[in-house]
Structure 1
């Protein structure tokens, strides 16, 4: 856990503003899988987890459920729908 680029779940929660309980749930359902510290067994998050979590939060804001978000994050062809959704949301805000 001495790596400066990895965060404990508490630090990650504070850094991202997402509750520990939510992070546990996302890990449990496989939406945002944390690395495990081999010595302690604690969850560790890295910088790339922040980007993925930002995508999850944005997609939730756009009205997608967690199952749909999981599909979008794993299926590259569905990522095109994200761009279209963001364009539609932008038009709606304008």
Structure 2
């Protein structure tokens, strides 16, 4: 599922195929960027911490996914991966 959602479907400097964008017209990275902008607007994320935050969150979550798919975490029981994934998201949230 990870590769399907985040594989080589888009680049940061390219518009994805409109037929693959879904109803919103955004790719996953654009959704993440918009969500972070919304956090700033809501006063949850300080504006000075916003620049580049999408790259940090994106690379952290994708790193965990790749370690789980092809790396040393492959074969880890799903329940443990679920716990690690939740802790990772909590860490990203606190870090932003």
TM-score with structure 1 length normalisation?
0.32
The structure richer in strand per residue is 1
TM-score with structure 2 length normalisation?
0.32
